[in-house]
Structure 1
Amino acid sequence: MLAKIVHSYRQSFTGLAKETWLLSLVMMINRAGTMAVPFMSMYVTQSMHRSLADAGLIITLFGVGSVLGASAGGFMVDKIGFRPVQIFTSIVSGLLFIGFAFVQDYSQLCLLTVVLSFVAEAFRPANFTAIAAYSKPENITRSYSLNRLAINIGWASGASLGGLIAAYDYHWLFFVDGGSNIVAGLLIVLLLPSAKKRAATQPQEASPAVVKKPWQDAFFIRFILLTALFNTCFFLVFRLVPVYWKESWHLGESMIGVVLGMNGVIIALFEMLLVNRWEGKRQPMQYIVMGCMANAVGFGILLLPNITPLVLALACMTLMTLGEMLAMPFMNTLIMQRSNAWNRGQYAAGYTLSWSVAQVVGPATGAWLAQLGGYSLLWAVLIVVCIACAVAFSWLKKRQHQYEQYAGVFK
């Protein structure tokens, strides 16, 4: 029995290109290098002695820069290639993070925040595109799952290390953060050979009949709007749900941390194994629909009486994580299936943009709903939205053939 389990895990990780492993390693270092971001509000209030409103403005500006950076990053990938974009954004964002340690003026900090988030977020569509370029078609979903695993490990380790560093000196957060980003860029310079660039990194001039822009793809526009809506709901799991557990279910911070940590643990242990089993057995959209429904049920648990709050919190997080594993790897796959070597960066930017928009819109909208009608209203709205997303994705799948005049040149 144990041998079968070991074989299943080994099979889940075999067959992936070495470049895919390198890109995932770079992404893990890059995400670990965002350790300063979760503590930005505390830095502004505790170290700079500014108000909470000023801290909120910094977070908002970070989101605005991310939205702009995601768009620009995809455009630059299609112009100059994913390798130079990753190198430039990693090294420059590293230098900008270090620059944070020397800025004492709040106005300058606001400006630097926009510039930094712009450069840092431009890295993601480049990395996203590179994975598709180096992956075989039959391995693309597993390749993105490996990348997601790297993101989760990087984020978890970075946040944990960041807490220790912040307790010592906030300024060291920026030095370590900047250094890790520079290391990520140097790894690409040294280990990702330029001779192996694919056609996606050297786009050739093509007729408009061959190269379609994402905004000309009616299916993609509808899909990415639904993805942004789904991501908006998902972000609230890590922004407002813990607050609800603390205020209404009276769970302690340590216990909430354990429950939230389950997300990364479950993904690390099971996502690659499950995706290896799921890939190719159903169409990607079917898994996305199931993921939306799993999240709807997860939010439904929050409406139950808190007789056993810890058990309910664990069940909620398990369902949310299942929904994430069902939906997000296959969202990546579906988007890349509709792109080609000349427009892949712009398609990747559209997906990254949906995340950036969700980060900006989700927490503010969720907090407003909670203040307006209480948490019960918020959870009820999120249940309806998740179900609506599932229905809309299903509807889009049934009519996908109507949009193949756009997709025909992408395959």
Structure 2
Amino acid sequence: MLKTAFSRYINSFRGFTREIWILTLVTFINRAGTMVLPFLTKYLNEDLEFSYSDVGTIMVFFGLGSMLGSYLGGKLTDSIGFYKVMIFSLFVSGLLFFGLQYVTSFYGLCIAMFVIMTIADMFRPAMFVSLGAYAKPENRTRALTLVRLAVNLGFAAGPAMGGLIIMNIGYHGLFWVDGASCILAISIFWLLVKEKKKTIEENAVSESLAVKSVYSDRPFWVFLLVIFITGMVFFQLFTTLPLYHQKAYGLTEFQTGLLLTLNGFLVFLLEMPIVNYFDRKKVNKVKLVLVGSLFMALGFYVLLLNVWAGILVINVLFLTFGEIFAFPFSNSFALGRAPRGQEGRYMAFYSMSFSLAHIMSSKTGMNIFDHFGYLTNWVVMGTLGMVAVACSFWVMKMVREE
């Protein structure tokens, strides 16, 4: 029985092209080095001594830059190709991360975070389109999942190492590692993966479909609302929850890092077999996103039982399964809705919904913390998760009617 389960697990990783494996390696290196993000709110609040409200405002500029970057990345991907966008984005953002550590004023950080995230998040829609280009059509959902696994495996290593770096060197060490990992990752991609040019047939198809607009795709826009809400709830893991760990239970940066590592490790272990199973069964992707939204809602409702530190582990478990169900299938649904030649635009709006979630998640969460306390924030986030569940039902109804 164990041997059969292990064999199925291994088989779920078969059938990918060489380019997909290289993209996975590049993503792992980049994410393992991305140590700044989980500790950014703590760095701004505890090291630079900004108020919760100021931290929330800086994170708004973080999200605005992310939105603009996602939009520009999608537009440029459709016009000049994903390859050039990916190389420019990671290389330049790596250099900018080196300089971010020297910016300590409030207005300087607002501008710096906006510029860095504009450049850095041009990468996301380009990377999604590259997966569509290099993966076989039948493997696209699993290819998206494989790259997400690299993200989470890198994230499993990153926060724990980041916590140790903070305790031994200080926050500035994180900026050097983050910048270097961006440059190393994209250098490997540039050396090992060649640009895939559009064929004459693909260009012809793109031109013939140019009149069909993403703006008229009503089910897709309601779906983006689901993704926005789900992202807004999930991103509390990186904004308000690390602060809650310390304020309510006295956890160190290293202990918070271990909780985030648990999230990354479980996603690495379970996501590919779960996605492979439901992909083979051809289960409705929006229904699986609905299940993920429900898990995330429950993850915040359990925090209302604030009498035992172990509840933080249960919270991470719920959010982890929410992530496993919501994000890979939402990626696949969004890419599958896009007509050929408009993949960049669709994935740009998909990425922008996450960027807007970053803006609203941090600012809303921090303000609720400031004025009403932790428990009110958990009620709000849990209830938003249930709104995402209701909207998912609405998307399924519209798609059936099509």
- Give the partner amino acid of 1:293: L
Question: What's 2:342 paired with?
Answer: 343
CA distance in 2, matches of 1:210, 1:118: 26
> Displacement, 1:221?
1.2
Partner of 1:135: 135
* Segment of structure 1 superposing worse, 274-283 or 257-266: 257-266
**CA distance in structure 2 between the partners assigned to 1:153 and 1:382 by the alignment:** 26
**Contact kept in structure 2, 1:83 and 1:201, CA below 8 Å:** no
Q: 1:153 to 1:380 in 2, by over 3 A?
A: same
- 5 Å-filtered alignment, 1:233-252, equals 233-248=233-248, 250=249, 252=251
Q: Kindly indicate whether residue 377 of structure 2 is the aligned counterpart of residue 392 of structure 1.
A: no
| SS of alignment partner, residue 304 of structure 2 | coil
Distance change in 2, residues 1:373/1:280 (3 Å)? same
TM (norm. structure 1) is 0.86
- Tell me the amino acid that sits aligned with residue 220 of structure 2: F
String of CA shifts for 1:308-329, please: whole Å, max 9, x gaps. 441x333332222111111111
Indicate whether 1:120 and 2:133 are aligned: no
Aligned position for 1:356: 355
Q: For the structure 1 residues 226 and 109, does the alpha-carbon distance in structure 2 shift closer, same or farther, using more than 3 Å as the test?
A: closer
Between the aligned partners of 2:140 and 2:300, the Cα distance in structure 1 is 30
- Separation in structure 2 between the aligned mates of residue 228 and residue 373 of structure 1, nearest angstrom: 23
Query: Who is 2:76 aligned against?
Result: 76
Distance (whole Å) between structure 1 residues aligned to residue 349 and residue 367 of structure 2: 27
1:249-306 CA distance string (max 9 Å, x none): x363365543333211111111111111111421101111111122222223223362
Cα pair distance change 1:314/1:215, threshold 3 Å:
same
* Long gaps (5+) in structure 2: none
Q: Where does residue 150 of structure 2 map in the other structure?
A: 150
Q: 1:16 to 1:277 in 2, by over 3 A?
A: same
Shift of 1:138: 2.3
Write the letter of the residue equivalent to 2:389. A
Structure 2 equivalent of residue 7 of structure 1: 7
Cα shift at 1:331: 0.2
What is the alpha-carbon distance in structure 2 between the residues aligned to residue 33 and residue 116 of structure 1? Answer: 16
Structure-2 residue corresponding to 1:175: 176
Distance 2:381 2:55 in 1: 27
SS of equivalent residue, structure 1 residue 334: helix
1:199, distance to aligned residue in structure 2 (A): 5.3
Query: In the alignment, what sits opposite 1:215?
Result: 215
In the aligned structure 2, how far is the partner of 1:200 from the partner of 1:62?
A: 39
Are 2:97 and 2:116, in contact at CA under 8 Å, matched by a contact in 1? yes
Do residues 230 (structure 1) and 230 (structure 2) align?
yes
How far has the Cα of 1:390 moved from its partner?
1.1
| Corresponding residue of 1:408 | none
Aligned to 2:35, what secondary structure does the other structure show?
coil
Percent identity, aligned pairs only, is 36
Describe the shift of the 1:215–1:296 C-alpha distance in structure 2 as closer, same or farther (beyond 3 A): same
Q: Distance in 2 between matches of 1:151 and 1:28?
A: 6
The size of the alignment, in residue pairs, is: 398
User: Which deviations, in whole Å up to 9, do the C-alpha atoms of 1:334-359 show, x marking residues without a partner?
Assistant: 00111133111111111111111111
- Report the 3-state secondary structure (helix = DSSP H, G, I; strand = E; otherwise coil) of the residue aligned with 1:129: helix
Report 1:376-391 matches (<5 A): 376-391=375-390
Instruction: Give, in whole Å, the separation in 2 of the partners of 1:341 and 1:75.
Output: 14
Q: CA deviation at 1:232?
A: 0.6
12-21 or 238-247, which deviates more:
238-247
**Is the CA contact (8 Å cut-off) linking 2:209 and 2:340 kept in structure 1?**
no
2:291 maps to what in 1? 290
CA contact (8 A) 2:89 2:119 kept: yes
Indicate conservation of the 8 Å contact 1:64/1:114, yes or no: yes
Q: Tell me by how many angstroms 1:370 deviates.
A: 4.2
Contact 2:263 / 2:317 at 8 angstroms: preserved in 1?
A: yes
1:169-212 per-residue CA deviation (whole Å, 9 max, x = no partner) reads: 65554333322212222222211112x44559985585565553
| Residues 170-209 of structure 1: pairs in structure 2 closer than 5 A | 170-194=171-195, 196-198=196-198, 203=203, 206-207=206-207
Q: Which range moves more in the overlay, 101-110 or 80-89?
A: 101-110
Q: In 2, distance between residues paired with 1:139 and 1:335?
A: 15
- Relative to structure 1, is the Cα distance of residues 200 and 357 closer, same or farther in structure 2, using a 3 angstrom cutoff? farther
Question: 5+ residue gaps in structure 1?
Answer: 405-411
Conserved? CA contact 2:94–2:180, under 8 Å = yes
The structure whose RCO (Cα within 8 Å, separation 6+) is larger is 2
Distance 1:75 1:123 in 2: 12
Is the aligned partner of 1:63 residue 2:80? no
1:327 and 2:326 correspond:
yes
Shift, 1:365, TM fit: 1.1
TM-score under structure 2 length normalisation:
0.87
Summarize deviations over 1:2-39 as a string: whole Å, max 9, x none: 32232022111111222111112222222234333445
CA distance in 2, matches of 1:273, 1:38: 27
- Kindly provide the amino acid, as one letter, of the partner of residue 178 in structure 1: G
CA distance in structure 1 between the partners assigned to 2:381 and 2:97 by the alignment: 35
Amino acid in the other structure paired with 1:60: V
Structure 1 residues 201 and 219, CA, compared in 2 at 3 Å: closer, same or farther? farther
Q: Distance in 2 between matches of 1:106 and 1:376?
A: 28
CA contact (8 A) 1:33 1:158 kept: yes
